[in-house]
Amino acid sequence: VYGLKVEVWLYMFLIWDLVFLAWFDLKYMLLPSKMIYVGLGSGIAFPLIQGIILNNYSLIINGLIGAVSGYILFLLLFYGSKWLLKKEGLGFGDVRLMALIGFFIGVELLPLMLIIASFSAVLVGACLYVIRKQSEAFPFGPFLCIGTLLIILFQDEVIHFYLQCMGI
């Protein structure tokens, strides 16, 4: 029962952090590092406490693998876009945000979250292009936050829908 309470608080904190980060990125096209670090710090603290109390460290290990995987993937995208496009394809706040998200959802759910975020961003980008008749930059952080929220709140339904679309 105690472990469940810690997990609920952890996800409530993450949801508020993601909502704030999405709003801030939409408004200022910037993801504040301090809010990402606060979320990551609490994200590490809660499972660590839970692991000590329940003598189960799998949450923290899975989270660390997810954080490192998300960070490295977006770090490669950050520098790859600078090298290929000669400009930033995404901001470094997105790289940090992926570490936060990867920690909370783990490495197994990162690809599905990225599919949701990317599909949503492409859809919105295409609509903006049609409406404004020109290509312009828009923040990717809110789409990462939306994808993460969908995974957290509706994990079973999202996985079922994805497998159904894939014919599995």
DSSP states along 99-152: HHHHHHHHHHHHHHHHHHHHHHHHHHHHHHHHHHSS-----SHHHHHHHHHHHH
* Average pLDDT in the chain: 90
Q: With cut-offs at 50, 70 and 90, classify the pLDDT of residue 5.
A: low
Q: With cut-offs at 50, 70 and 90, classify the pLDDT of residue 53.
A: confident
Are the C-beta atoms of 155 and 31 separated by less than 8 Å? no
Structure token digits, residue 150: 């969908």
pLDDT tens-digit profile of 20-40?
999 999 999 999 999 999 999
pLDDT tens-digit profile of 108-126?
999 999 999 999 999 999 9
Which residue has better confidence, 153 or 4?
153
**For residue 134, which phi and psi values (nearest 5 degrees)?**
-155, 155
- Containing H/E element for 3? helix 2-28
**Is the pTM above the cut of 0.95?**
no
d(CA 34, CA 42): 12
